[in-house]
Amino acid sequence: MLPNHHIDEDMLLAYAAGTLGEAASVLTAAHLSLCPHCRAGVAAAEAVGGALLEDIAPAPVSEINVAAFLDRMDAAEAPTSQKTARGDGLLPAPVSNYMSSDMKSLKWSFVQPGVRFAELLVDGTGARMGLMHTQPGASITPHGHSGEELTLVLSGGYSCNGQGYRRGDLQSADESTTHELTTDLDGECLSLVMIRGRIRPTRWIARILRHFTDF
Amino acid sequence: MVTLVSKVLPPGEMSALLVDIAATRDRQKFAQLFEYYAPRMKAYLMRQGTDSAGAEELAQEAMLIVWRKAESFDPAKASAATWIYTIVRNLRIDALRKMRRPEFDIDDPAFVPDPPQRPDEAMVSDQLERRVKEALRALPEEQAVVVRLSFFDDKPHGEIAAELSLPLGTVKSRLRLAMRRLQPLLGD
Ligand SMILES: [Zn+2]
């Protein structure tokens, strides 16, 4: 089944322009692995990049003998391209590339009953990315945000504000959003989460949540 | 200094040249491609804040990647300009932002392939590029400005908004409107 909840166009454009932070780029690339619709959007945005490159006023470059340049370069060892690890079909490659061990051996931290989190990356912009695992029926306490929060479902599902989220669906929240996520009763849910800024829990229990996002 | 090939070639010509280079590994033909794209890559990198010497070095490196990866260029998926753009962009991210560039991998077992296209829906990539160019020219100026800044300034949208003294939400909505004008071209 194809995703129903997509990446915002401005984020696709930032991804194509190469200005998105690393954590948000991982989330984008993971969604793109699962979503032909958004891949078409990125292709359009990259075509814009191509058109702008074509139309830019060229900057003079020093004259070089291209053939001799290539000879020199061919003599040097070509870099071996790093092949992405073959995944098991559950985690898209952009995510598994950030894991040195399997999921069980990740460092999971307790967030609240039925909810645990394993951090995979803190990028140069201070955004955190990691896997969140929730038990059937477990809910994530209502919380607000001081920054952007993106959630990409990888298996199972949850509901939030009357909407259902399944594999490939992306949910974004920001300063203006307060939400509560409830895991579907029929199974565990695994998602990839990116958090920028602080989570603002709206209940005391979520102090624990604040504890883990305190940075 | 080389004489600048500043004329914009008909779309398709560069794609055909690149396919030819991949097949023949002809260095003189590559020199033609180099003369056309290296000055454009350099200009792009300088717009991103790289100094002239650094931009020239990176442009050469990017052209070398083009030479090495030419076989993987698929004119059905992207035009030469678009494919070359993604190469110089990724090199910039790697060299200047010092971060990995996460990308999807079509050989990934988790990858969900495109639904089969009807032949009449398939658009040649050069045709797509031509229509994207037309759509870009037709964009309202306020949208065109934020699109250009997004690609040329190595800055998050928040900083672009601050420079234009606009709320971030306004910049985002202009980008979304622009993307919606460009996206239907893909027939999705
Ligand atoms: Zn999508």
Of residues B67, B92, B183, nearest to A18 (C-beta): B92
Top-confidence residue, A79 or B55: B55
Does B81 contact chain A (CB < 8 Å)?
yes
> In the prediction, which pLDDT does B119 show?
60
DSSP state of B10: P
> In the prediction, which pLDDT does A84 show?
55
Of residues A10, A17, A67, nearest to B27 (C-beta): A67
Looking at beta carbons, which residues of chain B come within 8 Å of A192? none
Q: Is the pLDDT of residue A36 over 90?
A: yes
Instruction: Look at the domain B134-188 and name its fold.
Output: Arc Repressor Mutant, subunit A (1.10.10)
- Enumerate the domain spans of chain B: 11-100, 134-188
For the stretch A134-169, pLDDT in tens is 999 998 877 777 788 999 999 999 999 899 999 999
pTM of the model: 0.90
Does B1 contact chain A (CB < 8 Å)?
yes
Only one residue has tokens 């003294």, namely: B165
> In the prediction, which pLDDT does B121 show?
58
| CATH at residue A11 | 2.60.120.10
Domain tally for chain A? 1
Separation of alpha carbons B28 and B33, rounded Å: 9
Separation of alpha carbons B81 and B95, rounded Å: 21
The strand pairing partners of A121, in sequence order, are A129
Residue B44 and residue A53: Cβ atoms within 8 Å? Answer: yes
> In the prediction, which pLDDT does B4 show?
46
> In the prediction, which pLDDT does B3 show?
45
The mean pLDDT of B114-137, rounded to a whole number, is 76
For the stretch A162-203, pLDDT in tens is 999 999 999 998 877 788 889 999 999 999 999 987 666 665
Extended beta strands in chain B, E state:
none
> In the prediction, which pLDDT does A1 show?
78
> In the prediction, which pLDDT does A142 show?
76
Query: What is the b/e burial string over A96-109, where b = at least 16 CB atoms within 10 angstroms of the residue's CB?
Result: bbbbeeeeeebebe
The mean pLDDT of A101-112, rounded to a whole number, is 90
Architecture of the domain delimited by B11-100: Orthogonal Bundle (1.10)
Q: Is the pLDDT of residue B184 over 90?
A: no
Instruction: Tell me which chain A residue has its CA closest to the CA of residue B90.
Output: A18
Does A68 contact chain B (CB < 8 Å)?
no
For the stretch A118-131, pLDDT in tens is 999 999 888 999 99
Which 3-state string (H, E, C) describes chain A? Answer: CCCCCCCCHHHHHHHHHCCCCHHHHHHHHHHHHHCHHHHHHHHHHHHHHHHHHHHCCCCCCCCCCHHHHHHHHHHCCCCCCCCCCCCCCCCCHHHHCCCCCCHHHCCCEEEECCEEEEEEEECCCCCEEEEEEECCCCEEEEEEECCCEEEEEEECCEEECCEEECCCCEEEECCCCCEEEEECCCCCEEEEEEECCCEEECCHHHHHHHHHHCC
Q: In what order do the strands lie in the sheet with A115-122?
A: A109-112, A115-122, A128-134, A189-195, A149-155, A170-173
The range of the structural domain enclosing residue A6 comes to 1-215
Q: Is the pLDDT of residue B128 over 90?
A: no
> In the prediction, which pLDDT does B98 show?
81
Token pair belonging to A192: 């990839």
CA of residue B151 to ligand 1 center, whole Å: 21
CA of residue A167 to ligand 1 center, whole Å: 11
Does B164 contact chain A (CB < 8 Å)?
no
Token pair belonging to B68: 């090495």
